[in-house]
Structure 1
Amino acid sequence: MGVKFTDEQFPPCPKSLFINSSRPLQKLLAVNDWDRAENVFKKANKKPRLFSGPTKPQDVRQGALGDCWFLSAVAVLTEEREIKDVVITPEYNEEGIYTFRFCIQGEWQPVIVDDWIPLNAKRKPAFAMSKKEDELWLTLLEKAYAKLHGSYEALEGGVVQDALVDLTGGAGEEIDMRNQDKQLEIASGRLWSQLMRFKEEGFLLGVGSPSGSDTEISPNGIVQSHAYSLLQVREVDGHKLLQMRNPWGNSVEWSGPWSDSSPEWTERMKYKLKYTPKLSDGVFWMSWEDFQVHFRSVYVCRLYPPEMRKVVHGQWRGHTAGGCPNFDTWHNNPQFLLRGVGVDAHRPINVFMTLAQNLCGHPPFFIGLRVVKKGGERVDPILYVHNLAGASEYVNTREVACEMVLEPDPRGYTIVPTTHIPGEETSFRLSVFTKTAVELVELPP
C-alpha cells in the first residue's frame, strides 16, 4: 500500500475545527477523534465508496455542525444538477486525496483534502454524512468547504444562496418576504408566479425560517433560524404547493396541512404530484399560504449561460470609497457604463445585476448599487430622483442583486456600486446578466 496523503494545511487537529481553539464552540466538542475513511467504514463493515449510485437530496444528512445553509444548497444541487461537477476526483482512492472545486469571486478554485474524518464518541462521522452508509462524497465535500473557509466552525451560520453560488458559479439573491414591496408582490400573485418561473428556468432555490435558535422547533415542526431546500413549486387543481426538505433528514417536519399524513392528500393529488409520503425523511409539502406564515426568506441562485454574463472588478480604496448617495463624496466611487450595442442600442435592456464584496476577514459591509441615466457620463455629487433608473437595497451580505428593465438609450447608463458608509474599503465584483448585446466598461475618473 502506498503512502497516504495528509493535508498539512488542514490537518486532523483542533485548528481545523475551531476559529479560535482557545475558545472552542461547544457543539464542536462532539468531535472525539479523527480517523481515516478506510478505518471508519471498516468498523461499520462497509467498503468505502466516493459515490454509491446516483445522488439524491434524501442522501444529505446534517451532523453536529450548524451548516444547514450549505447542506440545503447541496441537496438542491443533487436534485437539479450533477454534483460531480463539483467533485473532481472520480472515485474512492487508497491514497486518501480528493479534489473539489468552488466558484469564488467568479473564478473556479480547486480545493484538495485528505480523508481524515472527525468522529463523535460513537466513532461515527461527527458532521455531514450520506444516508448511504458506504458513501464518502458528502463528508469530504463539507470538509473541502470548511477548508476553504479556514475551519469547520466558520461554516456555523450562513445563507443558502452564497453556498449555491459557490457550488455553481450562478448569481445569488435573497427575497425577504417581510419587505413591504415583496408583501405587495405576494398580494398581487407576482411572487408566486416568479417562483414558478424560477423553477421552470432551472434556477436553484432554498428557503429560511424566522430567526431564533436552531434548537427551537415551532408547534408545527418548523425549525427556527434554519435553512431548507426548496425542491418543487407546483400549482395543481387550484392548490399552490411547495415541497421542501429539512437537511436533518429525520422526523422533524411540517405537521400541518399537506404534511405526510394530512387528510388533504387524495389519491388524485398523490398521483398528480407523483408523491408517496415517507415518514421521517425530512421531505414535506406545504401550501403557499402557510409558507408565508412559517418562512421568512427565499434564496435564489440564477443559472445563466456564459454568453449572457458581463463581469467587471473594482475596489473601494481611499477617496473612491465614497459611500452611498447620502454623502457628497458618493460621486468618487468607481463607475461603469452599461449600454446596448449594435441593433440592441435602440432596444430596452432587461437586466439582472449582482454586486459581490470581498470579505477579506471583515464582517460584510452594507453594499448596494445605483443605475443612473447620465448620458454615459459619471454621476454628479447630488443624485436627483429623475435621473435614477434603478437600484438595489443596501444589505450587509456578501452579495446583493436587483432586476430592472432599462429604456432604450444609445448613450447608456451609469452603474455606481457603493458601500453605505464612506471609507469602507474592499474589492468587489459587478456582474450583469442579459440577453441583450451590451458592453460594460469602467468610466475614467
Structure 2
Amino acid sequence: MAAEVVEQPFIWRKETRDHPDHKHCRCYKDVTGDHGRPKLLDGVEPVTLQKSTYYSRVSSEYNQQKRVVREGRRIVKKGFRILRQECLAANRLYQDPEFPPNNYSINFSGVTRRTYVWKRPHEIVQDPCFFVDGATRFDIQQGELGDCWLLAAVANLTLHPQRFHSVVPRDQSFKHLYAGIFHFRFWQYGTWQDIVIDDMLPTYNGRLIFMHSKTKNEFWCALLEKAYAKMYGGYEALRGGNINESMVDMTGGVVEMIDLRAPPPNLFNILQKASLRGSLIGCAIEPDHPGIRSESVLENGLIVRHAYSVTRVTTVDIANARPRLQTQKDITPLIKPHLQGAFDDIIDSISRVASNLGLTERPPSSMSHIPRTLAPLTNWNLNMAFPEGKAELLRLHNPWGNEAEWQGAWSDSSPEWASIAPEDRTRLRLTFDDDGEFWMSFQDFRNNFSTVEICDVTPELGNDDDNGSPAKEVECERHWDVVMYEGAWVSQHSAGGCRNFIDTFASNPQYVVEVTNTDDDNECIVVVSLMQKNIRQLKRYGADYVPIGFTIYKLPQDRQPGVKLDVDFFRYNASFAKCPYFLNTREVTTRFQFPRGIYVVIPSTFEPEMTGEFLIRIFKEARRC
C-alpha cells in the first residue's frame, strides 16, 4: 500500500499509513541522509545494512544472557572501596583496565585529529580538588565534545544536592584516601550502576579537552563525564543526544515531553509546579528549515538543536511599576551598547538639524530626558503585556556557560528589570554576567522553543483538572504503583512490527495490566514508558535508535488474562489506546486515563524484523484511603 508522506516543518518527516482499525500509526524518521539527500521512508536502508551485524549480535547476546541466568552463573566485580583499599595497601594509583588511556577510549576508530596526552589531575595543577566551594551549575564548562544534552542535565542536577550526591558520592577526594580511583552512580534500565574509573584525563597542551570546571583545580565535572563515557563505551558515544536520556540516567525517573507547537492551556502552571517539586526540566529548539545546522546561533541569541536547562519558573509583580530611572548613570547598565549608540545617533541627528535651521543647539551629551521617557514607556508596555500585573518568567541555563544568551525582553541588559521592585530583585538573586544563564518571559519561551521535557522520579500526580482549576479534595493518599518488564524483539521470533503489519503483529511481546483502583465515576491515570536498551553502548558498531512505540488493547470479559492474543484478535478488534507516534528515540512516554478493566500493552518497533532489547515501565495511580 502506498505511503502518504506529510511534510513537517522540523527535521522529522511524518509517514502515515492506513491503519486496520481506522486509526493511524505515525512514524517519525530523520529526513536527511548522506550529503543532505532525503532517506527513503519505505526502504529502511540503515536497518537492512545492520541486519547481519547488529541484529544477529543482539539476538545472540539475548540468548546468551538467558543461558547465564538458567545456569546460575554470575560475574562478580570488585567494588570501589575494595579496589581503593587494595591500591592504598600496595601504595599505587589505580589504573582502569576497562577504560584504558588511549585513543580508542576517545574515538571509535582510534584515530584522532590531534595527539592527546592522558594526565592525572596532580600532573595538570598543583592543588587538585574534587570540589571547590561545592558544586554549582556555573562550574560546568563544555569542551570539544558535543554533549550539551549531558551538561544541561548535570547543571539541573546541581540544584538538588541530595540527588546530586546520589550520582556523585561524597566518599572520594584528592586529600583523604586518594588512590587515583573515583566512582559515580547512574541509573541504567531499571537498576543503579556504580561506575569506577581512574583519574587519568585526556589533555592537549596541558589543558583538559572535554568537560571541565571553570575553576582550574576542580575536577568533579571532568571525572563525572569520564564515568558517563565509560558506561556508554567511549567519549564519542556521547556525541549528540537528547536531554531526556541524561535526565533519566541521573534520576531513574520518567520524562514526559510537551510539544510547544500545541501546548496545554495551563502550561505555565505545569512548569511552575514541576520546578517547585524539584523536577529536572530541559528544552530545545528544532529549526523551521532542514538546512539549518545544529548549534547555529539565531539573531535573538538562542541556539538551534541545543539543550538548555530550565532552572527556575516564577512570577514578578509589575502592578505597581513606577518610573525609577532618573539619570544617564542609572540607565547605562540596563541598555545594550548598540541601543545606547542608537540614542546617541538620534541626538546627534537632531542636533545637526537644529544647527542647520539656525536653532540653538542642545549639547548631545545632555540625555537626561531619555531615561525619564524610557522608564514610563517600559512600564506602560509591561502593563499592557501583563494586564494582571504579574510577569511570568523562566530562568534558563546554556551549558556553554558563556555570553551566548537570549537577547530579547528580560535578558541581562533589558530595561524591563528597571520596573520590578527591589524585593523581587533580591528574591530572584539577579546577576547579569556572561555565564550562560538568562531570563525570558513565558510568552517568549513558548514562541521560541519547540519542546520542553519534564523529568520526575515518578510521574506527576497533579491536583488540577483539565481546565487548570483546583480539583476537589481527596481524602486518600495518592501514589504510584510501578511495574517493569524487560524484553527483546528477536528476529523471526518476537519482532513483529506495528499494527500496520497485521500478520506478524501478534508475535510481539504482550504484557497484562489490571486497573482496579478507581472510583465508580472516575478513571485511573496510567503512564506507559518504553525504552530501547543498550543502543548508545553499541554506537561504535553502527547501532542506532529505531522507531518504537506501543499499542494497548482492553481485554474482553470472555478472554482469559495471560493467554497470548493471536492474529485473529487483532484483525477484528480495535485498539483501546496507543502512543501518538513511533519515534526513533531512546524512550517514548504517554499518559492515559483508563476505566476499570484488564489491558494488554504491546511494545513494538515500527517495521518488522527491527530487533533489540527494551524496558517497559507502567505507572498506575493508586489511592489508599
Following superposition, the deviation at residue 7 of structure 1 comes to 1.4
Contact 2:516/2:596 (CA < 8 Å) preserved in 1?
A: no
Amino acid aligned to 1:404: F
Aligned partners of 1:77, 1:383: CA distance in 2, in Å? Answer: 48
Amino acid aligned to 2:435: D
Alignment of 1:84 with 2:165, yes or no, is: yes
Contact 2:517/2:596 (CA < 8 Å) preserved in 1?
A: no
Greater Cα offset, 80-89 or 318-327: 80-89
Change (3 A) 1:321 1:332: same
Contact 2:480/2:622 (CA < 8 Å) preserved in 1?
A: no
Amino acid aligned to 1:119: T
Correspondent of 2:443 among 275, 289, 293? 289
1:329-344 maps to which residues of 2 (within 5 A)?
A: 329-341=504-516
Name the SS of the counterpart of 1:260 in structure 2. Answer: coil
Aligned partners of 1:393, 1:437: CA distance in 2, in Å? Answer: 30
Q: Which ranges in structure 1 are unaligned for 5 or more consecutive residues? A: 439-445
Aligned to 2:596: 408
Name the SS of the counterpart of 1:319 in structure 2. Answer: coil
Contact 2:518/2:595 (CA < 8 Å) preserved in 1?
A: no
Following superposition, the deviation at residue 429 of structure 1 comes to 1.0
Correspondent of 2:277 among 201, 226, 230? 201
Change (3 A) 1:374 1:308: closer
Greater Cα offset, 357-366 or 371-380: 371-380
1:213-362 maps to which residues of 2 (within 5 A)?
A: 213-214=293-294, 216-236=296-316, 237-266=389-418, 268=420, 271-272=423-424, 273-304=427-458, 308-317=481-490, 318-328=492-502, 329-341=504-516, 348-360=523-535, 361=538, 362=543
Corresponding pairs, count = 418
1:384-403 maps to which residues of 2 (within 5 A)?
A: 384-385=573-574, 387-403=575-591
Following superposition, the deviation at residue 384 of structure 1 comes to 4.6
Aligned partners of 2:244, 2:273: CA distance in 1, in Å? Answer: 17
Aligned partners of 2:501, 2:158: CA distance in 1, in Å? Answer: 46
Aligned to 1:190: 266
Name the SS of the counterpart of 1:338 in structure 2. Answer: strand
TM-score relative to the length of structure 2: 0.63
Amino acid aligned to 2:577: A
Contact 2:271/2:313 (CA < 8 Å) preserved in 1?
A: yes
Aligned partners of 2:109, 2:284: CA distance in 1, in Å? Answer: 28
Correspondent of 2:555 among 334, 359, 374? 374
Deviation sequence 1:323-373 (CA, Å, 0-9, x none): 111111212211111113477799621122200112442211111112222
Contact 1:80/1:204 (CA < 8 Å) preserved in 2?
A: no
Amino acid aligned to 1:349: C
Name the SS of the counterpart of 2:156 in structure 1. Answer: helix
Contact 1:89/1:98 (CA < 8 Å) preserved in 2?
A: no
Change (3 A) 1:176 1:383: farther
Change (3 A) 1:214 1:327: closer
Amino acid aligned to 1:60: I
Aligned partners of 2:230, 2:609: CA distance in 1, in Å? Answer: 31
Name the SS of the counterpart of 1:79 in structure 2. Answer: coil
Change (3 A) 1:276 1:235: closer
Aligned partners of 1:89, 1:314: CA distance in 2, in Å? Answer: 35
Following superposition, the deviation at residue 437 of structure 1 comes to 6.8
Correspondent of 2:244 among 161, 177, 187? 161
Contact 1:352/1:403 (CA < 8 Å) preserved in 2?
A: yes
Aligned partners of 2:278, 2:435: CA distance in 1, in Å? Answer: 24
Change (3 A) 1:339 1:347: farther
Contact 1:48/1:92 (CA < 8 Å) preserved in 2?
A: no
Alignment of 1:5 with 2:88, yes or no, is: no
1:2-41 maps to which residues of 2 (within 5 A)?
A: 2-22=91-111, 24=112, 29=114, 32-41=116-125
Aligned partners of 1:343, 1:284: CA distance in 2, in Å? Answer: 44
Aligned to 1:420: 606
Change (3 A) 1:192 1:371: farther
Alignment of 1:55 with 2:135, yes or no, is: yes
Greater Cα offset, 372-381 or 109-118: 372-381
Amino acid aligned to 2:166: D
Change (3 A) 1:17 1:312: same
TM-score relative to the length of structure 1: 0.87
Name the SS of the counterpart of 1:166 in structure 2. Answer: helix
Change (3 A) 1:383 1:35: farther
Q: Provide the identity percentage.
A: 33
Aligned partners of 1:341, 1:351: CA distance in 2, in Å? Answer: 12
Name the SS of the counterpart of 1:38 in structure 2. Answer: helix
Contact 2:156/2:281 (CA < 8 Å) preserved in 1?
A: yes
Aligned to 1:66: 146
Amino acid aligned to 2:117: D
Aligned to 2:254: 171
Aligned to 1:436: 622
Contact 1:340/1:437 (CA < 8 Å) preserved in 2?
A: no
Amino acid aligned to 1:19: F
Aligned partners of 1:219, 1:347: CA distance in 2, in Å? Answer: 49
Alignment of 1:139 with 2:222, yes or no, is: yes
Name the SS of the counterpart of 1:140 in structure 2. Answer: helix
Aligned partners of 2:572, 2:274: CA distance in 1, in Å? Answer: 34
Aligned partners of 2:572, 2:155: CA distance in 1, in Å? Answer: 44
Change (3 A) 1:260 1:253: same
Aligned partners of 2:119, 2:435: CA distance in 1, in Å? Answer: 28
Aligned to 1:127: 210
Following superposition, the deviation at residue 114 of structure 1 comes to 0.8
Amino acid aligned to 1:398: R
Q: Which ranges in structure 2 are unaligned for 5 or more consecutive residues? A: 1-87, 317-388, 460-478
Change (3 A) 1:340 1:437: farther
Following superposition, the deviation at residue 234 of structure 1 comes to 2.1
Contact 1:392/1:400 (CA < 8 Å) preserved in 2?
A: no
Aligned to 1:443: none
Change (3 A) 1:353 1:345: farther
Aligned partners of 2:403, 2:139: CA distance in 1, in Å? Answer: 15
Aligned partners of 2:444, 2:283: CA distance in 1, in Å? Answer: 13
